[in-house]
Amino acid sequence: MTDPAELNALTASLAVEDLRDAWRLLDAAERIEGFRLLGREDAQEFFGALPSAEQLQLIEQSSATERRHLLRMLAPDDAADLLQELPDEQRQPLLGLYDDVTRREVASLLAYREDVAGGLMNPRFARVRPDMTVEEAILYLRRQANEGLELYTYAYVLDKEQRLLGVVSFRDLFRGKATAAMRDVMKTDVVRVHEEMDQEAVGATFAEHDLVALPVVDAAGRMKGVVTVDDIVDVVQEEATEDIHKIGGSVALDAPYLEVGLVGMLKKRLGWLLVLFFAQMLTVVAMSYFQVRIDQLSLLSLFVPLILSSGGNSGSQASTLVIRAMSLGELRPSDWKRVFLNELATGLTMGLVLGVIGFTRVVAIWPGNEEQFANFSWQLAGAILVSVVGVVLWGTLIGSMLPILLRRFGLDPASASAPLVATLSDVTGIVVYFSAVSWFLSHVLPPVA
Amino acid sequence: MTDPAELNALTASLAVEDLRDAWRLLDAAERIEGFRLLGREDAQEFFGALPSAEQLQLIEQSSATERRHLLRMLAPDDAADLLQELPDEQRQPLLGLYDDVTRREVASLLAYREDVAGGLMNPRFARVRPDMTVEEAILYLRRQANEGLELYTYAYVLDKEQRLLGVVSFRDLFRGKATAAMRDVMKTDVVRVHEEMDQEAVGATFAEHDLVALPVVDAAGRMKGVVTVDDIVDVVQEEATEDIHKIGGSVALDAPYLEVGLVGMLKKRLGWLLVLFFAQMLTVVAMSYFQVRIDQLSLLSLFVPLILSSGGNSGSQASTLVIRAMSLGELRPSDWKRVFLNELATGLTMGLVLGVIGFTRVVAIWPGNEEQFANFSWQLAGAILVSVVGVVLWGTLIGSMLPILLRRFGLDPASASAPLVATLSDVTGIVVYFSAVSWFLSHVLPPVA
């Protein structure tokens, strides 16, 4: 069976793999050239899987006829995602390329925010009526498939007002008696989401019920579309990316790293860096308050970076663990007491271990070097032990409580970034360290007026 | 139609929602009690959606008969995930509860690592033969559905040796001519994954091709099972959680935050904290090297935390952005030059902005306080400008290059955690700052012998 069609399919399939591999290295003109070489089916699959920004790029480079074809390759929900990125005056001409029915579908999707159930859903889904028999339903679905409908695992049973009555899986359909009515085969206890539900909550509903598709309904219970789990993969990736970027102390980039130019990067990164820099200026003030101690004994300043970093590190651990647990729904603000006790125990233990190491280091390794130092090495070691314990404990506590506080005030817990927690713990760290030093070394350091 | 069955369904559906809400607060004994109240279908759905650890907990609390029912509620791939968590001697008795066919299926899945395609796949899928007609295939699928097969969007066409020849979507099946043979209806250009492919790569394949299901084949091209996109949602969440935990400077927790006890927490967190603490001891050495400068002018020590944190913050931004871009496949190690140039430009600009603010702060706000300071405020401001630029630039460069280097050496880029990058930039920061100070203030500070 090596007929020309198959041979053709073979070259086409080679072309699509080559194009995929080279894609990132091609400029806009080369991309459209390569894309034109693809067979119809490959082109559809390839185009459908591109991120919206790259789909737009191809559309911009295309002729008017190609544009129409490209747009029709997309399911209405994907088309809406793409058009959402355009200003209105560029959106209208593209919408004009659709037939009336599709244009209405796409336009109604554009009315939703991109990050709610309505913005994720596909308005085309398999629908049957409650009085249809299994046989009629299969025939009817066959007709819908012929008209281009993609069939997922379920068909939905709607009444005349489009209200969702129940769901039938293809499996139920296939194994039901040919004469049974949909209303007797269907499952009525259907998990559904409201059209305005936030995408994160939609994702959580999928996870909770382990589903592959969820019907979207309006306030009156009318079914508007279906969100499928493959859209949720993108949502989950997006939400995780946002969290990670924020944890690192940036505003979330909304494009792939390499596509964000210098100006874009600065917009996302400089803001937080400035805030943190201004906050860190408080450390200068705090240090200047203890400058007289450093004048008395410059040795004291050597330990400042060590002490501060141990607070920042333990705080960054605690905040990322708590932020992630909240994003996954494992933790709610009402759990704060358990978190607090957890972190109290963990922070105290970790602080003690690190503190003892710091203590040993001062007592055992160092006294040899400085004559004068022998007089108070035990006291200095004690001050370091106490401040490491205090700073590590403080770091874990603000690291774990700050995300919870942010959520309680309706803010994003992920804003409790590692750098922010470190900065907050630094100022306190300075005060803790020098207070401990003043107390332990009071016999060597004359009191400050 | 308020018959007892429906009423029953209603109470059962109330019970399942109540149970879901209360679940987190219940202990093991209460959980099994609540679970026993559920109707068969609710129980199956509820049990199937629980994480493996909680499924195990219910199984442990159950009677022998219940155990058999519980295990049979799970698809073979989910059963394998669950049994994977048990030591061999506990695994065998549970395996013994299965009928022969299922036991063989589950046992063969247990041979795979949990994080490869084989460990994710469901060995049960809709299969048809190439010479079947559309009509025969539908009948045959109906029979498979009757035997309990879940039908996803595709049926796979296998030859007698179980080699994958092609794929037919239900849509194709529904719209094909009743007498057309599978071999003429099927799509032959099937994206497939090897049974040993890592789950992260499987996820990337889903994303690249925008699919809902992927066939898994062995080296000989024999089809072993299907990975569906709903399994990928879990993979994506898991991988993101791992990255986030590592970015925060912990080893990835492999259980929900609240279920990790003190010992577990210490195991995951103390290790890195110790490594970082030892690394940070280098800052004591670096500082002691410049102690004489602090003796000459204690004022210099006040700026140390500010300078160091600006490097740590910019580094933590850069490393999290690069780590995430690599996890999403947007960046490969071969892109290092572009990343380097990006970060060079970004780091330099951000450093200059922060540096100028630091400069202004020293010159404009401060000189009033200290008489002696008026002689060299411009020079000190210059030293601070230069060191902030240097430290921020250095932070962004190691933050961005370290993840790439780790990947190139086969390690996990996410190990370039925010605290690690901060620690690495701290030592350098001290050297940069005091070198700048020595140079700019050479007229005030006598050279060190």
In terms of CA atoms, which chain A residue is nearest residue B150? Answer: A171
Residues B157, B162: Cα–Cα separation, whole Å? 9
Is residue A1 over pLDDT 60?
A: no
Task: Give bridge partners of residue A227 from the DSSP assignment.
Answer: A214
Buried residues in A325-336 as b, exposed as e (16+ CB within 10 A): bbbbebbeeebb
Q: Which of A126, A173, A165, A121 is nearest to A148 (CA)?
A: A126
* A423 and A345, same domain (yes or no): yes
In the predicted structure, residue A2 carries a pLDDT above the cut 50: no
- How many domains, in total, are found in chain B? 3
Shortest Cα distance, chain A CAs vs residue B435, angstroms: 16
* Assigned domain for A210 exists: yes
Percent of chain B at pLDDT exceeding 90: 37
Residue of A nearest to B269 (CA): A317
3-state percent helix, strand, coil for chain A, nearest multiple of 5: 70, 10, 25
Residues B55 and B156 in one domain: no
Cα–Cα distance, A396 to A312 (Å, whole number): 9
Q: Contact, A392 vs A421, CB < 8 A? A: no
For residue A98, the enclosing domain spans 4-111
Which residues of A are less than 8 Å from B233 in CB distance? Answer: 203, 206-207, 229, 232-233, 236
- Cα(A382)–Cα(A355) distance, rounded to whole angstroms? 9
Longest dimension (CA), chain B: 100
Are A301 and A359 within one domain? Answer: yes
> ipTM of this model?
0.79
Q: Which of A111, A140, A175 is the last residue of a domain?
A: A111
Residue B176 lies in a domain: yes
Question: Which is nearest to B235 in space by CA: B260, B211, B202?
Answer: B202
| Residue A336 placed within a domain | yes
Average pLDDT over residues B418-439: 92
B241–A324 CB contact, under 8 Å: yes
**Which residues in chain A touch residue B277, judged by CB atoms under 8 angstroms apart?**
306, 310, 313, 354, 357-358
The answer to whether residue B79 sits within a structural domain is: yes
Tens of pLDDT, residue by residue over B171-224, are: 777 777 888 899 998 988 889 999 999 888 888 888 777 778 899 999 999 999
Q: What is the 3-state secondary structure (H, E, C) of B334-397?
A: HHHHHHHHHHHHHHHHHHHHHHHHHHHHHHHHCCCCCCHHHHCHHHHHHHHHHHHHHHHHHHHH
- Report the gap between the CA of A267 and the closest CA in chain B (Å): 10
Confidence of residue B1 (pLDDT cuts 50, 70, 90): very low
Helix (H) or strand (E) holding A83: helix A76-84
What is the nearest CA distance from A90 to chain B, expressed in angstroms?
A: 27
Q: Is the pLDDT of residue B162 over 50?
A: yes
Which H/E stretch holds residue A387? helix A377-408
The answer to whether residue A447 sits within a structural domain is no
Supply the DSSP string of B67-86, one letter for each residue: HHHHHHHS-HHHHHHHHHTS
pLDDT interval class at B397 (50, 70, 90): very high
C-alpha B319/C-alpha B244 separation (Å) is 12
Q: Nearest 5 degrees, angle CA B343-CA B347-CA B353? A: 150
Q: Is residue B32 part of a domain?
A: yes
Taking alpha carbons only, the member of B303, B317, B420 closest to residue A274 is B317
CA B254 to CA B258: how far, in whole Å? 11
pLDDT mean over A420-449: 87
Same domain, A42 and A184: no
Q: Where are the alpha helices (DSSP H) in A186-228?
A: 199-209
A-B interface: how many C-beta pairs under 8 angstroms? 389
Q: Which of A233, A301, A417 sits opposite B229 (nearest CB)?
A: A233
Task: Tell me what the pLDDT averaged over chain A comes to.
Answer: 86
- Where would I find the beta strands (DSSP E) of A170-218? 193-194, 213-217
Looking at the structure, tell me whether residues B362 and B326 fall in a common domain: yes
> Do A193 and A277 share a domain, yes or no?
no
Residues B432 and B394 in one domain: yes
B181 and B132 within one domain:
yes
Any idea what the CATH number is for the domain that residue A71 is in? 1.25.60.10
pLDDT at B374 over 80: no
Mean pLDDT rounded to a whole number for chain B: 86
pLDDT digits (tens, 9 = 90+) for B283-321: 998 998 898 899 888 889 999 999 999 999 999 999 999
pLDDT above 70 (res B409): yes
A435 and A338 assigned to the same domain: yes
Identify whether A245 is part of a domain.
no
Which residue from B minimizes the CA distance to A209? B49
Distance in angstroms (rounded) separating the CA atoms of residues B137 and B184: 13
Q: Last residue of a domain, which of B77, B111, B145?
A: B111
R_g (Cα) of chain B, nearest Å: 31
What gap in Å lies between CA B279 and CA A17, rounded to an integer?
A: 46
* CATH number of the domain enclosing B424: 1.10.357.20
pLDDT in tens, B247-290: 888 888 888 888 888 999 999 999 999 999 999 999 998 998 89
The pLDDT of residue B353 is above 50: yes
Domain final position from B58, B78, B111: B111
Tokens in use for A393? 């404990």
Residues of A in contact with B305 (CB under 8 A): 280, 283-284, 287, 304-305, 308, 426, 430
Do residues A91 and A156 both lie within one domain? no
The beta-carbon neighbor of A142 closest among B174, B270, B281 is B174
Predicted structure pTM score: 0.79
Question: Are B314 and B414 found together in one domain?
Answer: yes
Whether A188 and A93 map to the same domain: the answer is no
